[in-house]
Amino acid sequence: MDPSRGVWTATADVDLVLRLAASGFDWVALDAQHGPVDRAALHALARALHGAPVPFLVRVPGVDPAWIGAALDAGALAAVVPSVTGTAQAEVVARAARYAPAGERSWGPFPPMWGSLAPEPATADAAQQCWVMVETAGALTDVDDIAALAGVDGLFVGPLDLALSLGVPVDALLDDTTPGNPLSRVVEAGRRHGVLVGAFAGTPGNVARLRAHGIGCLAVTTDAALLALGAAAVLAAVDPDQQD
Q: How far apart are CA 112 and CA 108, in angstroms?
A: 9
Q: In whole angstroms, how large is the CA radius of gyration of the chain?
A: 18
d(CA 201, CA 5): 10
Assign 183 to helix, strand or coil: helix
Distance CA 97, CA 103 (A): 7
Q: How far apart are the first and last CA of the chain?
A: 38
Positions of E strands within 35-134: 56-59, 78-81, 129-134
Would you please indicate which residues are annotated as catalytic (active-site) residues?
34
Counting other chains too, the contacts that 220-225 makes at CB distance below 8 Å and 24 or more residues apart are 220/5, 220/6, 220/7, 220/25, 221/7, 221/8, 222/7, 222/8, 222/9, 222/10, 223/7, 223/8, 223/9, 223/10, 223/11, 223/16, 223/20, 224/10
